[in-house]
Every structure is written in structure tokens, then in C-alpha cells.
Amino acid sequence: MAQESCRLPDDFFFGAAMSGPQTEGRWRDGGKLENLWDTWSNLNITDFHNRVGSYAGNDFSSRRHEDLELLKSLGLTSMRTSIQWSRLLDADGNVNPEGAKYYHELFADAREVGLEVFVNLYHFDMPTHLFRRGGWESREVVEAYAHYATLAFRTFGKEIRHWFTFNEPIVEPEQRYTNGEWYPFIRNYARARAVQYNISLAHALAVREYRAAKEEGCLLDDSRIGLINCFTPPYTRENPSDADLEAVRMTDGVCNRWWLDLVTRGELPQDVISTLASRGIELPRRPEDDLILSDGKVDWLGCNYYHPERVQAPAADVDENGIPQFAQPYVWPEAEMNKSRGWEIYPQGLYDFAMKTRDEYPDLEWFVSENGMGIEREDLRKDESGVIQDDYRVDFVRRHLEWIARAIQDGAKCRGYHYWAVIDNWSWANAFKNRYGFVEVDLEDGYNRRPKKSAAWLKKVATTHVVD
């Protein structure tokens, strides 16, 4: 979209997105239990880029005050992080006082600096002892999550205004249970859908606990609860066949509508469940579940957007591993790629999502909860004074913000934008390979922070709301 400059509304907020497991480090301090990232790191460190496992985060815990000041100095007014279940609770499911202290101090620090904290309760970080009891395949663990959420609401209820139950609940079913890329490397489509279903129940139970805690006066009067997922309208080839359109329906159904229906209507899309059943995939449903799911309605939604999904009809009904196929990737010949990450760059996808939401879920308020560009070997892009020259990042964010501004003009209820990750952080198995930050973390120099060229641009946009 070619536009001279555009303006975002005055009350549109800018902030930073991050997560506990990718920043905190201190993986064994303060009574923290192992989560699956720690377990995987211990099991096979060579699976992680440059053998950097979950242990270090990005040194946020030691530099917390300095980092929060830095975010504030860039004109940001809010930040999201996650509480680590494995830090807040002990193995018996009681609050670990040292874990609670850690988060009380973090929230107090943010308040002092003048940053509003958005708290997410789960960011792919299943405590290992609960995984050993079945993880998301077990109802016992679903209930343990609801218990954890209750304790979090009641422990920090007077400190936090914005609560989220999950970040990208579609990702663990995919990465851990379908494509086998993340520990425990399972490839089983039916188990993946069972996990997705159980996470949906866990979400709804947490919202139920949240409403009860609010009713009892344990939360701030103006607090809100939401869910964060990655959304993109699935695209297909020009002149699609019926089978291509069917691939779009199922991809949209499993990845988007599943969550959108849950958070706006308190139910799951029946057409998706029927198609799954017609292929022998039965969800682990119980008679009481519909009532539980009906509590899944939220106050607003977070949309993480990095790239569009492009699909077409699958070549076969099952792949070589026997996994049912409902779609397969379609490579758009004109795609612009971020080669470091292998993700297509398509800013208009945000606009298309916004219009779909406006038309199909008109009451739903939302914000862009993650968007960002991770680039490999940015150290090679330093100028003579050592500052990374990341004009591509400015270009990436500018184009996305332009589409957001246009979507708002066209009626989208999009309230703000959180960039992932304003300060470089640890990216799961990719560790520190691709850097997202407006601020560099120098691993060769004790994790020191150094603003990249783009940081000044971010500050200008965040403080003026003019995108140019």
C-alpha cells in the first residue's frame, strides 16, 4: 500500500510483547520447576541453535528495571509478558512464595516506570511434572490449569488490568503433536485435536474462574480478560477448485474459527467437528463440556500476525506418516519472503483479518498482540559506531501499521499494537538465531542492550501516532 503518511487514533496504544520463558532465565532459582523447554534443553542441547537452551532467557530478570525504563523511553505505554506456571506454583499446586514475590516485584517495577502490564498465563510452557501426567491430553491437567489461573487471579488481581488465558493455543497441537518439531516430537493428528480441545476447555474454565474472582471483588473493577492467538485468513490459488476451497474451510475452521467462535459465542464450529468425525477423529467430549465452553466468551482478543497462511487441496488424504491431510501449503509465486525465518511478508493480511472480524464478529474488540521481523546475523549490519542498520524493520512495521490504520478507518475495532520483541530475546529452538528487537542484546558483551537504528523511528511513531 503506497501512502504518504497516516495517523493512528490518539487512544491507540503501543507496547512490547514478550514471554516469561523467553526472557526470565533463572530457570532453577526461586523454586522454579522444570518446564518442557528446560527438559528438552537438558535432554538434547544440540537441538537448539548454537546450543543455547532455555536457561538464560535474555537476562531480563537481572536487568528488569533497566529494560522497563528502556521500553518506556521508546514511547511505549504497555508491555505483555507471561507468568510461568512452573515458577508461580510448586509441585503440589500451591503458590510458591518466591515465585509470587518475583512477579509482585516485576509488576511493581512496571507500575513505577509507568508501563501497564498485560499478563498472559501460558506461553507454550507446560510444567514437566504435569506433562508426565498426560499434559494437555489429561483432564486432570486441564483442571490443574484452572486452579493455577484462579491462584494467579487472586494473587495479582489488584495489580493487573489485562489478563489473557493463552498465547497461541493452536501452536502446541501443531508443533508438539502434529509435525513433531518440538519435544516430545509426536506426529498424531487425532491427539493434536484432543490437545486443542482440552486447551479450549482450560481456557473456558479459566474465564469462569476469572468471572468468579471478579464477582468476589478480588480483581480490579476495570480489568478485562482475553485470549491471544495467531490469526490469518487462509488464502488459496487464483481460480480455486472446490477441493481448494474445502482446504480453506478446514484450515480456517481449525486455526481461526475454532478460537473466534469459542471467545465470542462460547462454542466450537460444528462443521469442523463434523468433518473431523467423518474422518474418524473424535474429540474427547463429555456431556458437561458444552456448559464449560459456554463460559469461554472473553472481553477482547489479541491477534498475533507474522505471515499469511496459503493453502490448497492436499495431494492425498493422508501423508507418508499416516496423518490426515485437510490442506497442504500453496506457494504463491509472488510471495515476498523473510528468508531468515522462512515466513512470507504480507501486511495486507492484517487488514483482511480485520475486515473478516468486523463483518463476522462485529462486537469483538481486539489488538495486534504480536507482529515483528526476526533477522539472522544482524551483527553483520553494524555501522562503524556499532549500531545495527535495520531499515528493513522500519519498512516491515510501517507497512503493517499502514494497513492497521486503514482497517480502523474502515471500521475495525483494533485498539493497539504490541511489537514482538522490542528487546531481542530467546526464540525457542532457534534460540538467538533470528533477532526481532529494536534493541540489540549483545551475547558477546554480557547481554548488553544497544538500540538499533530503528529504535528512534519506533519512538517517533509511538509518541506521535504518525506513521511515515
**Residues 225-244, mask of contacts with ligand BGP (x by CB under 6 A):** -----x--------------
Give the nearest distance from C-beta 166 to ligand BGP in angstroms.
Answer: 10
For residue 120, state whether it binds ligand BGP (rule: CB under 6 A): no
Give the nearest distance from C-beta 441 to ligand BGP in angstroms.
Answer: 14
**Is the Cβ–Cβ distance between 49 and 433 less than 8 Å?**
yes
Phi-psi region of 254 (alpha: psi -120 to 50; beta: other; left: phi over 0): alpha
* Amino acid letter, residue 452: K
Number of residues that bind ligand BGP (CB under 6 A): 14
Give the nearest distance from C-beta 341 to ligand BGP in angstroms.
Answer: 6
Single out the segment in contact with ligand BGP by CB under 6 A; choices: 173-181, 388-396, 427-435, 451-459: 427-435
Q: Which is nearer to ligand BGP, 314 or 349 (CB)?
A: 349
For residue 48, state whether it binds ligand BGP (rule: CB under 6 A): no
**Catalytic residue numbers, as ranges:** 168, 370
How many Å apart are CA 286 and CA 293, to the nearest integer? 11
**Is the Cβ–Cβ distance between 453 and 443 less than 8 Å?**
no
Cell of 121: 498465563
For residue 427, state whether it binds ligand BGP (rule: CB under 6 A): yes
For residue 80, state whether it binds ligand BGP (rule: CB under 6 A): no
Of the residues 13, 428, 432, 447, which one makes contact with ligand BGP according to CB under 6 A: 428
**Is the Cβ–Cβ distance between 439 and 422 less than 8 Å?**
yes
Residue spans of beta strands (DSSP E) within 293-388: 300-304, 309-312, 328-329, 337-338, 343-344, 366-370, 375-376
Single out the segment in contact with ligand BGP by CB under 6 A; choices: 1-9, 138-146, 280-288, 420-428: 420-428
Give the nearest distance from C-beta 280 to ligand BGP in angstroms.
Answer: 30
Number of H helices, E strands in the chain: 16, 19
For residue 165, state whether it binds ligand BGP (rule: CB under 6 A): no
Single out the segment in contact with ligand BGP by CB under 6 A; choices: 252-260, 355-363, 410-418, 425-433: 425-433
For residue 173, state whether it binds ligand BGP (rule: CB under 6 A): no
| Omega prior to 421 cis, within 30 of 0 | yes
For residue 420, state whether it binds ligand BGP (rule: CB under 6 A): yes
Give the nearest distance from C-beta 340 to ligand BGP in angstroms.
Answer: 9
Single out the segment in contact with ligand BGP by CB under 6 A; choices: 212-220, 252-260, 354-362, 422-430: 422-430
For residue 344, state whether it binds ligand BGP (rule: CB under 6 A): no
How many Å apart are CA 422 and CA 419, to the nearest integer? 6
For residue 58, state whether it binds ligand BGP (rule: CB under 6 A): no
Of the residues 167, 232, 251, 256, which one makes contact with ligand BGP according to CB under 6 A: 167
Residues 6+ apart with CB under 8 A from 35: 21, 54, 84, 85, 86, 125, 126, 127, 128
Of the residues 309, 370, 378, 440, which one makes contact with ligand BGP according to CB under 6 A: 370
Q: What is the 3-state secondary structure (H, E, C) of 40-103?
A: HHHHCHHHCHHHCCCCCCCCCCCCHHHHHHHHHHCCCCEEEEECCHHHHECCCCCECHHHHHHH
How many Å apart are CA 35 and CA 50, to the nearest integer? 21
- Parallel, antiparallel or unpaired: strands 434-435 and 375-376: antiparallel
How many Å apart are CA 103 and CA 83, to the nearest integer? 7
For residue 424, state whether it binds ligand BGP (rule: CB under 6 A): no
Residue spans of beta strands (DSSP E) within 314-463: 328-329, 337-338, 343-344, 366-370, 375-376, 414-420, 434-435, 439-442, 448-451
229: three-class secondary structure by DSSP: strand
> In what helix (H) or strand (E) does residue 276 lie, and over which residues does it extend?
helix 270-278
Cβ-closest position to ligand BGP = 427
Q: Which is nearer to ligand BGP, 370 or 402 (CB)?
A: 370
Q: Which is nearer to ligand BGP, 293 or 432 (CB)?
A: 432
Of the residues 59, 137, 168, 174, which one makes contact with ligand BGP according to CB under 6 A: 168
| Chain residues in the site for ligand BGP (CB under 6 A) | 19, 22, 167-168, 230, 304, 341, 370, 374, 420, 427-428, 430, 434
